[in-house]
């Protein structure tokens, strides 16, 4: 299974909240690979992919945050024009809906990585694999 | 005791009380004179309406002991209320008054099936507040073993509950919810890991929905207790039927009145509770307006007791907030929230004013079990809460989802309303 775990944190939209979460992870020596914040007025959801998900989840939970784990895909995209188009097109053609996505570039930077939450993760994996798209495994994300 | 005999006893005691306060207190002589009533005018029970009301304001004006009817050398104890709504209130007890208080609560605890062999963990504050000592004496009176923990030190509560096998606890409902939360954090279940079976909850308004939540999550039976410091302290509870609080008619004469007109309302109608004490002497009450909103039920109870019942306190006349001209009781908001499992038990109502308009916002905690990573789910949760509040209150309220543990927990009375309006 190529799905990886993403950590989501419920957060009130107030100064200092994100700092506390970041500090909690930093103190536990957990490294954030990618992060995005979705905000909806008074509150927001912080989503992140970290090197050690289990540890990250545990320390955040112990620190009193409301956290959940979600299965997402880490899809490699060519860092050239049309990279995202190819992926979106493959999923669209096959009727898989994207709930949200966010991208990051790895240190080695030959490729960009797209974190993708879809409504049907199994089907998305199949169609992307068939289209020759590579997806990073958990071990790979840890090693980046 | 048959109802007729109870009424006869009440009549005798009312006559004695009126003569007693008239003879012993300048305050009451003055009040009776102003109302044009003399002790001899009180012949039967219905004559009680000829007597003037007394209020919290009178207590404040005669601070500290101007409404006492016996001198200090008769008084064996003082309690002093916190004075959240003004000056503190001083109440005093003779030895007999303490006995009456214990007796009243002992009957109540017996009516929920407690007795010798039970272990009562008292989680109300001890000291000047009447909750702790009241439950303490009442529980000793029925032969139960008392564990006088007081409020606070929650982990200790849970450890001793386990180690000494507490079967009953008395505290505020919000504190019990907090104890349950802490127990869960400690990896314990009150249902499976303790012997707790009964909770005596009061000192703040709570709802049937909260009762259901407490009972469902911990497996105990939750009973409402009533009694204010002016009346002595906690005095009366529901019986095992959980269908109204029995107010012992030989000890208290109760009326429910329309707050505006002062007229008695019919059984079954909402109104303000008025209490006259029938066996309390250092500091008796004559038609004291409690400012608690309730409903009187004089029908005999299925438990067999003839003593009248008051329905769960629906709020206080001074708890009520008026938002955009609509009366809102925190208990109404609580009832709505308790039916929505996705939000936690703790809440806060914030009222503010923007320009000419009142804005009411209800803060609720997102529970971890139901936290969804999708913004849309959270938005629809807050919309649902708002919609259900609107159905009940007829008022649009904003809903703010907050992180668990951020609404202040209380060991005593929870502060559910923050009114930021400048009046």
Report how far residue B83's alpha carbon sits from residue B104's, in angstroms, rounded to the nearest whole number.
Answer: 25
Same domain? For B221 and B254 the reply is no
CA closest to A7 among chain B residues: B373
Report how far residue A53's alpha carbon sits from residue A34's, in angstroms, rounded to the nearest whole number.
Answer: 12
Name the helix (H) or strand (E) containing A71. strand A66-78
CA closest to B398 among chain A residues: A42
Residue A75 pairs in a beta bridge with: A114, A135
Closest CA to B345 of B360, B320, B363: B363
Query: What residues have CB less than 8 Å from A16, skipping those under 6 apart?
Result: none
B144-167 pLDDT, tens digit per residue, is 999 999 988 899 999 999 999 999
From chain B, the residues in CB contact with A65 under 8 A are 403
Q: Which two tokens stand for residue A87?
A: 């992926």
Report how far residue B75's alpha carbon sits from residue B298's, in angstroms, rounded to the nearest whole number.
Answer: 34
Full set of structural domains in chain A with CATH: 4-70 (3.30.2130.10), 72-143 (3.30.70.260)
B238 in any annotated domain: no
* Residue B207: CATH number of its domain: 3.40.50.12780
More confident residue, B303 or B367: B303
**Which of B373, B402, B406 lies at the smallest CB-CB distance from A8?**
B373
What is the interface pTM, i.e. ipTM, of the complex?
0.76
From chain A, the residues in CB contact with B383 under 8 A are none
Asked if B373 lies within 8 A of A47 by C-beta distance, the reply is: yes
Rounded to 10 degrees, the C-alpha dihedral B203/B208/B213/B219 comes to 80
Same domain? For B215 and B258 the reply is no
Asked if A68 lies within 8 A of B373 by C-beta distance, the reply is: yes
Q: How far is CA B324 from CA B328, B392, B398, in A?
A: 10, 15, 14
DSSP one-letter string for B140-190: HHTTPEEE---S--HHHHHHHHHHTT--EEEE-HHHHHHHHHHHHHTT--H
Interface residues on A facing B, Cβ-Cβ cutoff 8 A? 6, 8, 10-12, 17, 38, 40, 42-45, 47, 61, 64-68, 70, 99, 117
Phi-psi region of B287 (alpha: psi -120 to 50; beta: other; left: phi over 0): left
pLDDT for residue B134 is more than 90: yes
Of B6-20, B382-396, B404-418, the range with the lowest mean pLDDT is B404-418
Provide the 8-state DSSP code for B76. -
Per-residue pLDDT at B97:
97
B368 in any annotated domain: yes
Phi-psi region of A29 (alpha: psi -120 to 50; beta: other; left: phi over 0): left
Chain centre to alpha carbon of residue B360: 25
Alpha helices, H only, B227-343: 330-338
pLDDT for residue B423 is more than 60: no
Per-residue pLDDT at A48:
94
**At residue B336, what are phi and psi to the nearest 5 degrees?**
-65, -50
Same domain? For B344 and B409 the reply is yes
pLDDT for residue B361 is more than 60: yes
Per-residue pLDDT at B290:
92
Domain final residue, candidates B172, B191, B226: B226
Q: What is the mean pLDDT of residues B274-295?
A: 95
Report how far residue A32's alpha carbon sits from residue B49's, in angstroms, rounded to the nearest whole number.
Answer: 74
B234 in any annotated domain: no
Per-residue pLDDT at B319:
74
On the CB side of B133, CA atoms within 13 Å amount to 16
Confidence of residue B326 (pLDDT cuts 50, 70, 90): confident
DSSP one-letter string for B108-122: HHHHTT--TT-EEEE
Residue numbers of the domain that contains B193: 99-226
**Which of B367, B373, B404 lies at the smallest CB-CB distance from A45?**
B373
Same domain? For B200 and B113 the reply is yes
Rounded to 10 degrees, the C-alpha dihedral B211/B213/B218/B219 comes to 60
Closest CA to A76 of A126, A30, A134, A31: A134
**Residues B232, B278 contacting (CB under 8 angstroms):** no
Same domain? For B327 and B386 the reply is yes
Per-residue pLDDT at B371:
85
Cα Rg of chain B (Å, integer): 22
Same domain? For B270 and B215 the reply is no
Per-residue pLDDT at A108:
61
Domain final residue, candidates B201, B226, B251: B226
- Å between A67 CA and nearest CA of chain B: 7
B87-116 pLDDT, tens digit per residue, is 788 999 999 999 999 999 999 999 999 999
CA closest to B366 among chain A residues: A66
- Å between B196 CA and nearest CA of chain A: 28
Same domain? For B108 and B207 the reply is yes
CB pairs under 8 A between A and B: 50
| Number of domains chain B is built from | 3
Same domain? For B210 and B311 the reply is no
b/e B136-162 (16+ beta carbons within 10 angstroms → b): bbbbebbebbbbebbbeebeebbebbb
Per-residue pLDDT at A15:
86
B12 in any annotated domain: yes
B233 in any annotated domain: no
pLDDT for residue B131 is more than 70: yes
B235 in any annotated domain: no
Report how far residue B384's alpha carbon sits from residue B341's, in angstroms, rounded to the nearest whole number.
Answer: 12
CA angle, B9 then B15 then B19, to 5°: 145
Domain final residue, candidates B170, B197, B226: B226
Q: What is the mean pLDDT of residues B15-41?
A: 96
**Which of A10, A11, A40 lies at the smallest CB-CB distance from B379?**
A40
Helix (H, G, I), strand (E, B) or coil at B59: helix
Same domain? For B20 and B128 the reply is no
From chain B, the residues in CB contact with A61 under 8 A are 368
* Residue B357: CATH number of its domain: 3.30.300.30
Same domain? For B49 and B125 the reply is no
Chain centre to alpha carbon of residue B268: 19
Residue B246 pairs in a beta bridge with: B309
B236 in any annotated domain: no
- Å between B355 CA and nearest CA of chain A: 21
CA closest to A100 among chain B residues: B374
Report how far residue A134's alpha carbon sits from residue A19's, in angstroms, rounded to the nearest whole number.
Answer: 34
Sign (positive or negative) of CA dihedral B398, B402, B405, B408:
negative
Same domain? For B405 and B305 the reply is no
pLDDT for residue B84 is more than 70: no
Residues of chain A with pLDDT under 50: none
CA angle, B124 then B125 then B130, to 5°: 85
Asked if A45 lies within 8 A of B379 by C-beta distance, the reply is: no
Same domain? For B204 and B108 the reply is yes
B232-261 pLDDT, tens digit per residue, is 999 999 999 999 999 999 999 999 999 889
Q: How far is CA B301 from CA B3, B294, B297, B331, B388, in A?
A: 12, 17, 9, 25, 33
The mean pLDDT of chain B is: 92
Per-residue pLDDT at B82:
66
Asked if B378 lies within 8 A of A12 by C-beta distance, the reply is: no
Q: What is the mean pLDDT of residues B214-226?
A: 96
Q: What is the mean pLDDT of residues B110-127?
A: 96
Asked if A11 lies within 8 A of B403 by C-beta distance, the reply is: yes
B290 in any annotated domain: yes
**At residue B293, what are phi and psi to the nearest 5 degrees?**
-95, 125
């Amino acid at each position: 299974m190529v799905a990886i775990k993403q950590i989501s944190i419920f957060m009130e939209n107030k100064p200092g909240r994100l700092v506390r979460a970041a500090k909690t992870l930093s103190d536990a020596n957990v490294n954030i690979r990618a992060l995005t914040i979705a905000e909806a007025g008074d509150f927001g959801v912080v989503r992140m992919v970290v090197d050690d998900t289990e540890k990250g989840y545990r320390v955040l939970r112990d620190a009193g945050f409301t956290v959940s784990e979600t299965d997402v895909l880490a899809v490699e995209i060519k860092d050239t024009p049309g990279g995202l188009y190819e992926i979106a097109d493959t999923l669209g053609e096959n009727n898989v809906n994207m709930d949200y996505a966010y991208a990051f570039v790895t240190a080695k930077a030959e490729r960009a990585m797209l974190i993708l939450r879809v409504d049907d993760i199994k089907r998305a994996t199949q169609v992307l694999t068939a289209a020759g798209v590579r997806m990073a495994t958990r071990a790979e994300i840890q090693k980046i | 005791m048959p109802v007729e005999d109870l009424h006869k006893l009440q009549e005798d005691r009312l006559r004695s009380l009126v003569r007693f306060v008239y003879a012993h207190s300048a305050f009451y002589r003055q009040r009776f004179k102003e109302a044009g009533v003399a002790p001899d005018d009180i012949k039967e029970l219905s004559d009680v309406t000829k007597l003037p009301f007394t209020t919290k304001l009178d207590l404040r004006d005669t601070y500290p002991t101007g409404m006492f009817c016996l001198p200090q050398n008769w008084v064996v104890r003082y309690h002093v209320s916190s004075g959240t709504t003004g000056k503190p209130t001083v109440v005093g007890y003779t030895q007999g008054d303490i006995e009456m208080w214990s007796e009243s609560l002992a009957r109540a605890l017996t009516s929920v099936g407690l007795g010798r062999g039970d272990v009562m963990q008292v989680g109300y504050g001890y000291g000047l507040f009447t909750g702790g000592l009241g439950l303490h004496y009442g529980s000793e009176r029925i032969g139960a073993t008392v564990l006088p923990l007081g409020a606070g030190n929650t982990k200790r509560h849970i450890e001793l509950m386990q180690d000494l096998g507490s079967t009953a606890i008395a505290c505020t409902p919000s504190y019990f919810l907090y104890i349950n939360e802490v127990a869960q954090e400690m990896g314990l279940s009150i249902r499976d890991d303790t012997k707790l079976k009964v909770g005596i909850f009061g000192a703040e308004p709570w709802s049937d929905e909260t009762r259901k939540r407490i009972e469902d999550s911990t497996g105990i039976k939750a009973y409402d207790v009533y009694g204010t410091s002016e009346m002595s302290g906690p005095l009366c509870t529901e019986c095992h039927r959980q269908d109204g609080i029995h107010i012992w008619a030989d000890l208290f004469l109760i009326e429910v009145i329309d707050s505006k007109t002062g007229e008695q309302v019919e059984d079954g109608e909402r109104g303000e509770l008025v209490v006259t004490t029938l066996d309390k002497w250092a500091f008796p009450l004559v038609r004291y307006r409690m400012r608690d909103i309730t409903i009187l039920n004089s029908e005999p109870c299925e438990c067999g007791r003839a003593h009248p019942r008051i329905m769960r306190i629906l709020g206080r006349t001074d708890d009520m907030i008026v938002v955009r001209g609509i009366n809102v009781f925190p208990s109404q908001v609580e009832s709505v929230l308790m039916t929505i499992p996705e939000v936690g038990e703790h809440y806060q109502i914030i009222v503010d004013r923007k320009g000419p308009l009142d804005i009411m916002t209800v803060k609720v905690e997102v529970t971890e079990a139901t936290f969804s990573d999708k913004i849309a789910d959270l938005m629809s949760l807050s919309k649902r809460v708002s919609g259900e509040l609107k159905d009940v209150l007829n008022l649009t309220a904003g809903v703010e989802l907050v992180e668990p543990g951020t609404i202040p927990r209380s060991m005593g009375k929870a502060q559910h309303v923050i009114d930021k309006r400048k009046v």
